[in-house]
Amino acid sequence: MTLSMYQASVPVFLSMLENLSNILSRAEADATERRIDPNIFLTARLAPDMFALARQVQIATDHAKGAPSRLAGREVPRYEDTEATFGELQARIEKTRNYLKTFEQKDIDGSEDRVIEIKGGGRLFSFSGAQYLLHYALPNFYFHVTTAYDILRHNGVDLHKRDFIGGS
Amino acid sequence: MTLSMYQASVPVFLSMLENLSNILSRAEADATERRIDPNIFLTARLAPDMFALARQVQIATDHAKGAPSRLAGREVPRYEDTEATFGELQARIEKTRNYLKTFEQKDIDGSEDRVIEIKGGGRLFSFSGAQYLLHYALPNFYFHVTTAYDILRHNGVDLHKRDFIGGS
Q: How far apart are CA B127 and CA B73, in angstroms?
A: 14
Per-residue pLDDT averaged across B149-160, rounded? 97
pLDDT tier at B123, thresholds 50, 70, 90: confident
Which range of residues forms the domain containing residue B29? Answer: 10-165
Domain membership of residue B112 (yes or no) is yes
Q: What are the tens digits of pLDDT across the range B34-59?
A: 999 999 999 999 999 999 999 999 99
Q: What was the pLDDT predicted at A123?
A: 84
Handedness of CA B142, B145, B147, B150 (dihedral sign): negative
Using left for φ > 0, alpha for ψ between -120 and 50, and beta otherwise, residue B110 falls in left
Residues 6+ apart with CB under 8 A from B76: B65, B66, B69, B70
B4 belongs to a structural domain: no
Q: Give chain A's contact residues with B (Cβ, < 8 Å).
A: 1-5, 7-8, 11-12, 15-16, 46-47, 50, 109, 112-113, 121, 123, 130, 134-136, 138-140, 142-143, 146-147, 149-150, 153-154, 156, 161-162, 164-168
pTM > 0.90: yes
Domain assignment present for residue A2? The answer is: no
Q: What is the CATH number of the domain that holds A23?
A: 1.20.120.450
| pLDDT at residue B121 tops 90 | no
> How far does A137 lie from chain B, in Å, by closest CA?
10
Q: Has residue B63 been placed in a domain? A: yes
Residue B57 CB: number of other CB atoms within 10 A? 28
Q: How confident is the model at residue B115 (pLDDT cuts 50, 70, 90)?
A: very high
Q: What is the overall mean pLDDT for chain B?
A: 96
Q: pLDDT at residue B168 above 70?
A: no
pLDDT profile of chain A (168 residues), mean per 10: 91 98 98 98 98 98 98 97 98 98 96 92 89 97 98 97 85
Number of structural domains in chain B: 1
In a domain, A107, yes or no: yes
B114-121 contacts at long range (C-beta below 8 A, 24 or more positions apart): B114/B71, B114/B73, B116/B70, B116/B71, B118/B70, B121/A162, B121/A168
Whether B5 is covered by a domain: the verdict is no
pLDDT at A125: 87
Rounded to an integer, what distance in angstroms lies between the CA atom of residue B111 and that of residue A2?
A: 9
The interface pTM score, or ipTM, of the predicted complex is: 0.97
Mean pLDDT of B101-128: 92
Average pLDDT over residues B89-102: 98
B18 to chain A nearest CA, in Å? Answer: 13
